[in-house]
């Protein structure tokens, strides 16, 4: 990167405008040369600052903070091939931001690199990106009003090793304006916690990871705790893979693929203490094709995040799917209302080699005139309090336990074999 230009700390009494002008001048001088501007230790108070393309801003080893006074964003940049921020703390200081903006607010930055930074006290998003790509790693985001990290129509960002906590609405949001658009971000190895739902509603807010429309996003090996709604909500995303996450304490179902999500995968996740486990729902809105495999789901509970969430939405259910879904090798351990549900119009759902322990009902399946096919084979169902496998009409159970002595083993379109009950 060449030599570094030092920023001389302004006197304590200097006005923020002077500090802003000084920093802006040094950035303009350094950026074309590929040189870094190094901040001094301590707190530098500035006004909203536009970064030039190619800017490299690095904090001091002893800790450097840029604190915003006046309207935000604190830093913004448009139309840059490259932008680098490293080891700097960014403090919103309670300053106002327009709705939809972030304390750090960047658009059309092709190779963005933000690493080792802290983003705090934003009155809107912590970070707001529009059509950006690059790396966002090992940062801390905390105490923000809206989302910690918000990206729209991204070019693929490696979002890795960050801590995101105490956010008013969502933790990490990766959205596109058109459903199915390739986005390509990788959300991995992050710790996301204490995500609230200040804006209300029945699911748009209160999620650890929120995906809307984005294609080919991976959510892997994250620790997600204490969210008002879900750990991972995939709304209309295509080819989204959710794998190896550890998730605890949610007011609603821990994971969703819904409202037009296609080719979703949920594999090897751990879910504990939630209103429900994994739902592949809203087939009538286009949700289609999913794999739910190798997940462990423990301790589902009655929750009331909103008035709609209840039996009609299949709360306290380990896994629910409606169309073209393979459910295999999962463990659901109660308490739970139902371990696994073949719901909706039950179109081509395979439930194989799962274990359900301590649920009221082990497996429930939809019935009705227009239901499709389903398979329930080689599952182990232990200590069910009411029935091992039972037919359903909506959220209500009908008939006897199919694995009991009075159960009707023949239902149109349903294959039932080699299941065990203990």
Secondary structure string (H, E, C) spanning 355-420: EEEEEEEEEEEECCCCCCCEEEECCEEECCCCEEEEEEECCEEECCCCCCCCCCCCCCCEEEECCE
Which residue shows structure tokens 């073209």? 324
The pLDDT value given to residue 404: 83
Q: Taking 80 as the threshold, does the pLDDT of residue 395 lie above it?
A: yes
* Dist. CA 62–CA 71, nearest whole Å: 28
Mean pLDDT is lowest, of 37-51, 312-326, 377-391, 401-415, for 401-415
Q: Taking 60 as the threshold, does the pLDDT of residue 7 lie above it?
A: no
Percent of the chain topping pLDDT 90:
86
Q: Taking 60 as the threshold, does the pLDDT of residue 5 lie above it?
A: no
Q: Taking 70 as the threshold, does the pLDDT of residue 91 lie above it?
A: yes
The pLDDT value given to residue 132: 98
Q: Taking 80 as the threshold, does the pLDDT of residue 9 lie above it?
A: no
What is the pLDDT averaged over residues 25-33? 97
Percent of the chain topping pLDDT 70:
95
Q: Taking 90 as the threshold, does the pLDDT of residue 62 lie above it?
A: no
User: Radius of gyration over alpha carbons of the chain, in Å?
Assistant: 25
Considering the entire predicted model, what is its pTM? 0.94
What is the pLDDT averaged over residues 230-240? 98
Residues with Cβ within 8 Å of residue 385, at least 6 apart in sequence: 358, 359, 360
CA separation (Å) from 273 to 174, 242, 251?
Answer: 25, 19, 9
Element (H, E) at 144: strand 140-144
Q: Taking 90 as the threshold, does the pLDDT of residue 100 lie above it?
A: yes
Each residue's pLDDT tens digit, 120-144: 999 999 999 999 999 999 999 999 9
Each residue's pLDDT tens digit, 176-186: 999 999 999 99
The pLDDT value given to residue 14: 57
Mean of the per-residue pLDDT values of the chain? 94
The pLDDT value given to residue 315: 87
What is the pLDDT averaged over residues 85-110? 96
The pLDDT value given to residue 230: 97
The pLDDT value given to residue 336: 94
* Dist. CA 108–CA 132, nearest whole Å: 5
Helix, strand, or coil (residue 22): helix
């Amino acid at each position: 990167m060449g030599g570094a230009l030092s920023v001389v700390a302004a006197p304590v009494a200097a006005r923020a405008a002077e500090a802003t002008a000084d920093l802006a001048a040094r950035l303009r001088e350094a950026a074309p040369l590929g040189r870094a501007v190094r901040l001094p230790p301590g707190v530098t108070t500035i006004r909203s600052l536009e970064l030039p393309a190619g800017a490299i801003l690095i904090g001091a080893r002893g800790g450097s903070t840029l604190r915003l006074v006046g309207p935000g964003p604190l830093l913004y940049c448009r139309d840059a091939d490259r932008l680098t921020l490293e080891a700097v703390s960014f403090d919103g200081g309670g300053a106002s931001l327009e709705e939809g903006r972030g304390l750090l607010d960047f658009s059309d930055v092709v190779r963005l690199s933000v690493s080792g930074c802290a983003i705090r006290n934003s009155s809107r998003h912590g970070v707001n990106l529009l059509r950006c790509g690059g790396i966002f790693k090992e940062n801390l985001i905390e105490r923000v009003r809206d989302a910690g990290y918000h990206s729209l129509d991204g070019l693929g960002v490696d979002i890795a090793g960050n801590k995101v906590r105490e956010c008013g609405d969502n933790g990490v949001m990766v959205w596109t304006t058109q459903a199915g658009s390739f986005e390509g971000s990788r959300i991995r190895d992050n710790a996301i916690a204490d995500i609230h739902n200040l804006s209300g509603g029945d699911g748009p807010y209160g999620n650890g990871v929120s995906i809307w429309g984005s294609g080919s996003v991976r959510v892997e090996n994250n620790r997600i705790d204490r969210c008002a709604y879900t750990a991972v909500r995939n709304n209309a995303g295509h080819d989204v893979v959710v794998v190896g996450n550890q998730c605890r304490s949610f007011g609603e179902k821990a994971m969703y693929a819904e409202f037009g999500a296609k080719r979703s995968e949920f594999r090897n996740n751990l879910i504990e203490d939630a209103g429900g486990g994994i739902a592949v729902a809203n087939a009538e809105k286009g949700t289609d094709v999913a794999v739910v495999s190798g997940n462990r789901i423990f301790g589902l509970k009655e929750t009331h995040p909103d008035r709609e969430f209840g039996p009609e939405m299949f709360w306290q259910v380990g896994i629910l799917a409606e169309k073209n879904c393979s459910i295999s090798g999962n463990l659901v351990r109660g308490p739970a209302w139902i371990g696994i549900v073949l719901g909706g119009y039950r179109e081509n759902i395979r439930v194989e080699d799962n274990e359900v322990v301590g649920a009221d009902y082990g497996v429930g399946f939809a019935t009705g005139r227009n239901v499709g096919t389903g398979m329930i084979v080689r599952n182990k169902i232990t200590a069910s309090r009411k029935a091992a496998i039972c037919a359903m009409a909506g959220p209500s159970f009908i008939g006897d336990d199919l694995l009991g002595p009075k159960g009707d083993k023949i239902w149109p379109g349903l294959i039932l074999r080699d299941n065990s009950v203990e």
